[in-house]
């Protein structure tokens, strides 16, 4: 078991370093379930510590909509592209990479956002590091999608941006249906 975990983490870090892709991961729905559960738990833990009282009402919805929206979007698009067999590995790679970045990026982004809302200037180094990590996450996600769909980088970037937009719209609709005000 420990050997399998070590091998899995090695593949995930290869993906983060742009040295591997989702095709190097096992196509295991059990592994996907575990990775999504760890992502949800870790994101919940981080958001519980960094969320403002106003944000605390909406972050559980954000996590559920983010996970479900991402999975449904890529299930549908992979089906349209006739590459449905790549769904499990692609989602495992996406959520594993997000799990690696979440504990670092979310607190930094929350600190920068808090400084800006308080009409103070955010520390430039912190803002720069948060932006660099956010861009790196985007690059890694685009590479995962490019590998899964065998599309050029521009097409994969467009698909990642479309997925983020669709999830954002669904999130806003979910908040409106629940009567929670977005901030």
Is residue 170, in this structure, part of any structural domain at all? Answer: yes
Structural domain includes residue 10: yes
pLDDT at 183: 57
Domain count, the chain: 1
Q: How many CB atoms lie within 10 A of CB 58?
A: 20
The pLDDT, as a whole number, for residue 96 is 97
183: in domain: no
Say what the pLDDT of residue 87 is. Answer: 97
pLDDT band (50, 70, 90) for residue 66: very high
Per-residue pLDDT, 122: 63
pLDDT of residue 182: 59
Q: Is residue 125 part of a domain?
A: yes
pLDDT above 70 coverage of the chain, percent: 92
Does 171 map to a domain?
A: yes
Structure confidence by residue, pLDDT tens digits, 130-182: 889 989 999 999 999 999 999 999 999 999 999 999 999 998 888 788 776 65
Report if residue 159 sits inside a domain.
yes
pLDDT at 1 > cutoff 70 = no
Cα atoms in the 13 Å half-sphere on the side-chain side of 138: 16
User: What's the pLDDT at 80?
Assistant: 96
What backbone phi and psi angles, to 5 degrees, belong to 152? Answer: -65, 165
In a domain, 64, yes or no: yes
* Structure tokens that stand for 148 in this block: 């899964």
Each residue's pLDDT tens digit, 96-137: 999 999 888 877 777 776 666 666 766 777 778 888 998 999
| CB within 8 Å of 25: residues ≥ 6 apart | 8, 11, 12, 31, 89, 92, 93, 96
pLDDT of residue 28: 93
* Domain with 74 in it: 2-178
Under the banding of pLDDT at 50, 70 and 90, the label for residue 77 is very high
Residue 162 lies in a domain: yes
């Amino acid at each position: 078991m420990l050997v399998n975990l070590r091998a899995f983490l090695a593949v995930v870090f290869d993906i983060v370093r742009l040295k591997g892709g989702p095709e190097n991961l096992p196509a295991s729905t059990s592994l996907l379930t575990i990775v999504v559960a760890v992502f949800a738990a870790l994101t919940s833990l981080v958001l519980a510590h960094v969320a403002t009282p106003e944000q605390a009402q909406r972050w559980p919805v954000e996590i559920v909509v983010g996970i479900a929206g991402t999975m449904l979007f890529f299930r549908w698009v992979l089906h349209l592209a006739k590459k449905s067999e790549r769904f499990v590995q692609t989602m495992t790679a996406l959520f594993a990479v997000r799990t690696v970045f979440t504990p670092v990026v979310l607190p930094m982004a929350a600190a920068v956002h808090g400084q800006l809302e308080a009409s103070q200037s955010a520390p430039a180094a912190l803002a720069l590091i948060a932006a660099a990590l956010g861009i790196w996450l985007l690059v890694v996600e685009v590479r995962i999608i490019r590998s899964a769909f065998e599309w050029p980088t521009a097409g994969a970037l467009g698909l990642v941006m479309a997925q983020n937009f669709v999830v954002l719209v669904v999130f806003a609709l979910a908040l409106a249906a629940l009567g929670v005000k977005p901030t």
